Amino acid sequence: MQVSNRYRLIEPLGEGGMGVVWRAYDELLDRTVAIKEVRYAGVGEAKRAELNRRTIREARAAGRLDHPSVVVIHDVVEQDGRPWIVMQLVRSRSLAQVVREEGPLRPGQVAMVGGRVLDALRAAHATGVLHRDVKPENVLLADDGRVVLTDFGIASLEAEAGLTASGGLVGTPAYMPPERLNGEPARPESDLWSLGATLYAAVEGEPPFKRDSWAATVAAVLRDEPEPPARGGTLTPVIMGLLRRDPGRRMPAEEAARLLHEAAINAPGDPRQATAMQGMRPAPAGGPVHPTSEAQAYPTAGERPAAVRERSRRGRTLWVTLPAVAVAVAVGTGGTLLYTSRTTPTPTPTPTAAPSTSTSGPAPTPAQTLPAGWRTFTSPAGRFSIAIPEGWRATKHPTRDSISFKGPGSPGMMIVEWTTPEVSWKSPEQAWLALEKEILAKGEFQGYTRIGITLLRYRGRAAADWEFTRIRDKQLIHVINRGFHTADGRPFALYWDTTDARWAQDKHYFTKFARTFKSL
């Protein structure tokens, strides 16, 4: 079957009370997508037509959301008397499935997931869009490392249409806030209550008001106080704050974001941490790029440089982004890479002086010549220029403030990332130490060995080079990541990696990249 003479349905991916999600093929753009076929049952024709119109209107509104933790809506069409919502296909498991298959997650993992979901909700609320159906089934833990909230703009109509002729609600009320069950309209605080119940379920294995029957669950939400989660740890204050019955007393989103941030940073390591996100998949290649312009294509491959919890110019919170196994940077993240290995984390060592591998030096002046066979690349968005070898592609990440460079002559890759800081950065050394502590605690790098975190002066300012090796795809990878602020206060990371076997041979690339980098 085809939808809109364009989308060929392949197979159902899941079915619920309000419709079916299909894997489909977009024959116009030659890509695989997910399509939600929305079905309204138990309502009259006039009501169904009204719901269809509102579904399409709200789905289109949700489609304007630009956030890496929100499923992208590509198209909205009406066919056979019902809406079809065409979405990005996210290869993932839901949070509900992960908990069901692997048991409750560790508090640190849940804090990271919760932070991403809350970030998506705050972005949506800022544009006037409510979700109304936040629950573990709608939180996707993607194979590429993202946390993605789905059913924006669709769930709202489904919740309303879920009223049957007898006045009952379709589906579980375990994640619905008291005010919704009392018939009050949804508000941003309603999504926050549902988030609290979702975090509770992720860390405990079941929602806070689960009872033996539908009616008993409703009564519990309306009447009972939740028991603090036994496994919540540092998450307990934020969970309990979000589950306050009175929306006016519910923990504000800003405070919840801060507490989730702190819980994610300070979570103790545990070798038993189960991961919802497995190894990353390579991203699709983008098109050719003019050497003096910044590409707007997907990266060919690569790992994102670590940036310490900073806010992008578009206002999105960029939680710690970790270079990790064959990262698919094209798919968005905004995201913190949350998968963890099952190796025992090692304690965080104190800084040690590294061998003389860091290269600083003055920016090239007009009188200086570029390295032979190199050309100048300028990024207006990042306000920097850098020399790159002939034949290398520059690829702008679609959602992050970063550009990757890759080409012939080396298996290595260079990434330049810039952001606007959300929090103060006491020193580049402390930034790398904090990030190292987190990845060690969560076991995210296989075979990680720190070579050194080396302080240096770069462009006349304090900088630090974090050099380490780790195993990726059964190869030993050698990385150097330079963190610094420019004179006008903008933080940058210059990230270079290659195979350890090629490190000495390819080190000159990083030397030249660092020497020719110039902020504009």
- Catalytic residue set: 133
Q: Is the dihedral of CA 436, 440, 442, 447 positive or negative?
A: positive
- Amino acid of residue 118: L
φ, ψ at 266 (rounded to 5°): -95, 5
Residues paired with residue 104 on neighbouring β-strands, in sequence order: none
Whether residue 326 contacts residue 279, with contact meaning beta carbons closer than 8 Å, is answered with yes
DSSP H stretches of helix in 372-471: 428-442
Spatial neighbors of 236 by CB under 8 A, at least 6 apart, are: 228, 229
What span, in angstroms and rounded, lies between the C-alpha atoms of 134 and 194? 5
Spatial neighbors of 374 by CB under 8 A, at least 6 apart, are: 387, 388, 389, 390, 512, 516
* Strands of the 317-318 sheet, one edge to the other: 317-318, 310-311, 420-421
- Amino acid of residue 486: T
What span, in angstroms and rounded, lies between the C-alpha atoms of 184 and 475? 57
* Of residues 75, 97, 74, 80, the one with CA closest to residue 14: 97
What span, in angstroms and rounded, lies between the C-alpha atoms of 269 and 111? 13
Spatial neighbors of 12 by CB under 8 A, at least 6 apart, are: 20, 21, 22, 23
Residues paired with residue 25 on neighbouring β-strands, in sequence order: 8, 32
DSSP H stretches of helix in 26-106: 45-63, 95-102
* Strands of the 92-94 sheet, one edge to the other: 92-94, 139-142, 147-149
Given the DSSP bridges, would you call strands 413-418 and 491-499 parallel, antiparallel or unpaired?
antiparallel
Distances (CA, A) of 332 to 261, 327, 513: 20, 11, 25
Whether residue 39 contacts residue 82, with contact meaning beta carbons closer than 8 Å, is answered with yes
Q: Is 496 exposed, middle or buried (CB count within 10 Å of its CB: 0-12, 13-18, 19+)?
A: buried
What span, in angstroms and rounded, lies between the C-alpha atoms of 127 and 297? 26
Question: How would you classify residue 171: left for phi > 0, otherwise alpha for psi between -120 and 50, otherwise beta?
Answer: left
